[in-house]
Structure 1
Amino acid sequence: MVSSLPRNLLEKFARLYAERGTSEFRFQEAEEILGETEKYVGQILPNLVRAGWLEKKVDPEDSRRKIYRVVDPNRILQRLGQELKDGPR
C-alpha cells in the first residue's frame, strides 16, 4: 500500500530522487542530500518508508544500520492508481 504524502515529505522525496534516483543510500547520505539535522532526517525517512515511498533493508556490513532506496515514482503512481480503481476495502 502507498499513501499520499504531505507537501513537506513530497519535497524531501523529490530531493532524494533527484540526487540518487533509485540507487541505494545510507542515513548519512540522506542528511547531506536533504541538508537537515540528524534528528529531523530520523523522522523523515521512517515516514517515507511507512508511506511506501522508500524501501529499507539492513546493511549487510553493519546490522545496526539501514540502507534505503527510493521507490520508482512510476511504481508509486501505478499502485496509487490501482488502489483508487479497487476502491475502499
Structure 2
Amino acid sequence: MSKPLPKWLMERYSILWKRFNEKEFDHDESVQILKEEKERLVSVVLSELKKHGWLTVKLHPEDSRKRIYKLKNPEDAINEIEHT
C-alpha cells in the first residue's frame, strides 16, 4: 500500500519517473540520473520510496548482491492512497 511522499522524496521520484517510467533500473543508473552530491543519499531515496510503497525491489538475476528497482505508476500509488 502506498503512502504520501514528503516533498523532497517526491521531487526525486519525479526525476526517476521521467527517465525510467515503469522500466527496471539498478542503483548505478539511479545515481547517474539523480546526480546527488553523495551517492549514499541515492540509497536513502530508494529505501524511502520502497518504505512508502512507490518502488519494488528484486534481486539481480546474475548477481545476488545487486538489486533491480521498478517504480510504481504514480496514478496507481495515488489511487492506493485515496482508498486507505
Shorter-chain TM-score: which interval?
over 0.9
Which runs of structure 1 show a deviation greater than 4 angstroms over 4 or more consecutive aligned residues?
Answer: none
Extract unaligned runs of 5+ from structure 1: 84-89
Deviation, 1:49, is: 0.4
- Residue 34 of structure 1 aligns with an amino acid whose one-letter code is L
Deviation, 1:58, is: 0.5
Residue in structure 2 matched with residue 38 of structure 1 by the alignment: 39
Report sequence identity in percent. 34
Residue in structure 1 matched with residue 28 of structure 2 by the alignment: 28
User: Normalising to structure 1: TM-score of the pair?
Assistant: 0.89
User: Normalising to structure 2: TM-score of the pair?
Assistant: 0.94
- Alignment of 1:8 with 2:8, yes or no, is yes
- Say which structure is richer in strand: 1
Looking at CA atoms only, which structure, 1 or 2, has the larger radius of gyration?
1
Residue in structure 2 matched with residue 79 of structure 1 by the alignment: 80
Residue in structure 2 matched with residue 51 of structure 1 by the alignment: 52
Deviation string for 1:29-72 (max 9, x for gaps)?
00001001321111110000010011111001100000000101
CA distance in 2, matches of 1:38, 1:59: 20
Residue in structure 2 matched with residue 87 of structure 1 by the alignment: none
Relative contact order higher in (CA < 8 Å, ≥ 6 apart) = 2
- Residue 7 of structure 2 aligns with an amino acid whose one-letter code is R
Extract unaligned runs of 5+ from structure 2: none
